[in-house]
Structure 1
């Protein structure tokens, strides 16, 4: 997809509730899984958004509840975000002013490379490629605005 939808203020754009569908593929083993649920971007005291994801993750035929919490803080440039783990550790930056952003995150010896694209006001996606000695994964997540 070559035409992206520019977002002038990522925090304002993400605020609210999104339906989430994620595929997870282990390139080493060939195993595949999927996550289905919701992400709510709610106000965070002091500014920014609290990202709370919940749903069901199915891996190797077993479905379990799964959750994830991130903090989306105002970035160093207006309209951008500084994404952090729930405990405050840095994760990646996010700048969707062009409608597309590529970010990286080193995790031990593995490297996470994320590509974020916005299709329109109600649809965006992330594709994470995780490579290294411990992991060889591709995670594709589609977000659709609810309400």
Structure 2
């Protein structure tokens, strides 16, 4: 059984973002760190983001707050706004987030824990991409 505290610590992060509109693939190589914070774990993802058509990458970083939830885990943006929730023990954990006019859908895979992944499908008037992230203990 996977619980929130099992995520605590440092993870290596590898992400590929297949952008249908830009007709290219961006890559992020970096880290994902879960640190205890009042009410849950502060999740910081960061690393070097390489975009198609650019010779050099640049530093990117994003933070979320993960908290225990009756369903399993609730994820919030760093400003406190709700993002999504999922059950890490569901055989096929998934969640959706509507941010009109865009729609976000994630599918998690914890079947090879502690190696895990998140695949986001994002669609909207100016967005159409598939983001595949692999996390492994650092």
Report the TM-score, using the length of structure 2 for normalisation.
0.92
List runs of 5+ in structure 2 lacking aligned partners.
Answer: none
CA deviation profile, 1:71-108 (whole Å, cap 9, x unmatched) = 0011124xx11100000001000211124311001122
More strand by share: 2
Q: Is 1:126–2:118 an aligned residue pair?
A: yes
Residues 1:99 and 1:43: Cα distance change in structure 2 (over 3 Å): farther
Backbone CA RMSD of aligned residues? 1.3
Q: 65, 80, 89: which is aligned to 2:59?
A: 65
**What is residue 9 of structure 2 aligned with on the other side?**
16
Q: Is 1:101–2:93 an aligned residue pair?
A: yes
Distance (Å, rounded) in 2 between the aligned partners of 1:115 and 1:108: 20
Q: Is 1:82–2:95 an aligned residue pair?
A: no
Distance (Å, rounded) in 1 between the aligned partners of 2:43 and 2:126: 27
Residues 1:123 and 1:99: Cα distance change in structure 2 (over 3 Å): farther
Deviation at 1:13, TM superposition (A): 1.8
List runs of 5+ in structure 1 lacking aligned partners.
Answer: 1-6
**What is residue 140 of structure 1 aligned with on the other side?**
132
Distance (Å, rounded) in 2 between the aligned partners of 1:54 and 1:19: 10
**What is residue 38 of structure 1 aligned with on the other side?**
31
Question: 4+ runs of 1 displaced by more than 6 Å?
Answer: none
- Determine which structure has greater relative contact order: mean sequence separation of CA pairs < 8 Å that are 6+ residues apart, divided by chain length: 1
Q: Is 1:113–2:118 an aligned residue pair?
A: no
Report the TM-score, using the length of structure 1 for normalisation.
0.87
